[in-house]
Amino acid sequence: MMLIEETAIADAALPVDQFKAHLRLGTGFAEDSVQDEVLKSFLRAAIAAIEARTGKVLIERDFSWILNGWRDPAGEVLPVAPVGVVSAVKLTSAAGAETVVDAAAYGLERDTQRPRLRPAGSCLPKVQTGGAVKITFTAGMAADWGGLPADLGQAVLLLAAHYYEYRDETALGAGCMPFGVTSLIQRYRTVRFGAGVMQ
């Protein structure tokens, strides 16, 4: 399995001015934009960390997901949420020949936690041994920053500020995330049941 981000978040979609205000950086100076690239990098890092922790894509963009075979031919759960549209499904044979699957053969079952590609019939199209299937889709909670839920936007700013303030710190533990951020994103995390454990 391989998930590929086909389009990145545009610089214009990043809340640089809000982040500056959050950090209480000075304004009105000729050098106002000197830190913009650094601030964008911390915002991108914070968005990526929150997306990884929640399994949710915050700002809409295109992805492709490549599988060597269906895990469940009766309906394949997509790796991120929410998915707005599945734009294409392509089968690749062992010899490398590509076939575009007719859009009438499948549909998207929308879900905020576990969106699923469903067959129009009983099973999704067969993937040849040694072949692959590529699903192209658009996912995201909002088209732009202003459309995000306020708590997720605040979580991004808090985490980006944490990265900014501790940018020279190398002793933080793996997966370190401030409590305020963790509490803000908790309700967006996907609940998984397995082996008697809830995550």
Residue 82, preceding peptide bond in cis (omega within 30° of 0): yes
Distance CA 60, CA 6 (A): 11
Q: Count how many residues are written for the chain.
A: 199
- Dig out the tokens for 75 from the structure: 């309906």
Contacts of 161 (CB under 8 A, 6+ apart): 19, 22, 23, 42
Which pLDDT does position 190 carry in this prediction? 75
User: DSSP secondary structure string, 54-111?
Assistant: HSB-SB-EEEEEEESS-S-TT-EEPSSB-EEEEEEEEEE-TT--EEEPPGGGEEEE--
- Residue 65: pLDDT band by 50, 70, 90 thresholds? very high
Residue that is written with structure tokens 């009438």 in the block: 104
Integer angstrom CA distances of residue 183 from 152, 154, 163: 10, 11, 17
Rounded CA-CA distance 15/132 in Å is 38
Q: Which two tokens stand for residue 178?
A: 């401030």
Instruction: Say how many CA atoms lie within 13 Å of 20 toward its Cβ.
Output: 16
The pLDDT, as a whole number, for residue 33 is 72
Confidence of residue 174 (pLDDT cuts 50, 70, 90): low
157-172 residue pLDDT tens: 999 999 998 887 756 5
Amino acid identity of residue 65, one-letter, is W
Res. 179: pLDDT tops 90? no
CATH numbers and ranges of domains, the chain: 2-58+143-191 (1.10.3230), 61-139 (no CATH)
Mean pLDDT of the chain: 89
| Calpha distance 114→35 (Å, rounded) | 38
Asked if pLDDT for residue 198 goes beyond 50, the answer is no
